[in-house]
């Protein structure tokens, strides 16, 4: 763990003001924005420390929403998608509204029910350059776009290709789809 400055002490946890919810290093949290019309910011707690007056501050690593990135939101970005950035900051612990869960893409796609506190991350983002890691991901469908977990995908039982409904395959009769014994074919 990093060295603590004189007059400050590292804390193992912080109880969110007005709640009994405890935040620890490594937790994902919702941070209150200055504009109440905006959704809360999402960050990962890297360090919790208190000064000699017991003012608690957290060092956080920010998650960006796609629309906050240089390239903006793209068709394949899910509504709950975040990018883990290389942007760090120190904030008052009083700005923490609550905890949330940032899942890996794989675990997010396996959730039975996605709650308000559930998000996912499949990219790391360099805020200064706009670069992503990884810079390539698997693509699906004839549109050759990465998978958006918000879109229903249909697998053709004949060719085994996956198609999303936004690609015009939603109306199976108009696009040549047919159903035989509860299986979908293109």
What domains does the chain contain, in order, with CATH numbers? 9-137 (2.30.30.490), 152-186 (no CATH)
Q: Report the pLDDT averaged over residues 147-157.
A: 71
Q: In terms of pLDDT, which residue wins out, 44 or 176?
A: 44
Q: How confident is the model at residue 116 (pLDDT cuts 50, 70, 90)?
A: very high
The string of DSSP letters for the chain reads -PPPPTT-EE-SEEEPTTS--EEETT-EEEE--SSTTSPPEEEEEEEEEE-TT--EEEEEEEEE-GGGSTT---TT--TTEEEEEEEEEEEEGGGEEEEEEEEEHHHHHT-SS--TTEEEEEEEEETTTTEEESS---EETTTTEE--TTS-EEE-TTT--EEEGGGTTSSTTTTT-EEETTEEE-
Residue 176, pLDDT > 70, answer: no
Q: Give the tens place of pLDDT for each residue, 63-84.
A: 999 999 998 988 888 999 999 9
Q: How confident is the model at residue 171 (pLDDT cuts 50, 70, 90)?
A: very low
Q: How confident is the model at residue 4 (pLDDT cuts 50, 70, 90)?
A: low
């Amino acid at each position: 763990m990093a060295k603590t400055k004189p007059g400050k002490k590292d804390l193992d946890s912080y109880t969110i003001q007005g709640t009994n919810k405890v935040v620890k290093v490594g937790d994902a949290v919702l941070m209150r924005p200055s504009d109440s019309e905006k959704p809360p910011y999402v960050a990962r707690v890297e360090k919790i420390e208190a000064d000699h007056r017991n003012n608690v501050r957290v060092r956080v690593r920010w998650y960006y929403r796609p629309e906050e990135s240089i390239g903006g939101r793209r068709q394949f970005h899910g509504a709950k998608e975040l990018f883990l950035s290389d942007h760090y900051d120190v904030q008052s612990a009083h700005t923490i509204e609550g905890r949330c869960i940032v899942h890996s893409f794989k675990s997010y796609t396996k959730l039975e029910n996605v709650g308000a506190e559930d998000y996912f991350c499949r990219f790391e983002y360099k805020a200064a350059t706009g670069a992503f890691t990884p810079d390539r991901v698997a693509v699906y469908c004839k549109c050759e776009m990465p998978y958006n977990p918000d879109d229903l995908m249909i697998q053709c039982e004949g060719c085994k290709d996956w198609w999303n409904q936004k690609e015009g395959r939603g109306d199976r009769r108009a696009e040549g789809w047919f159903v035989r014994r509860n299986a979908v074919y293109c």
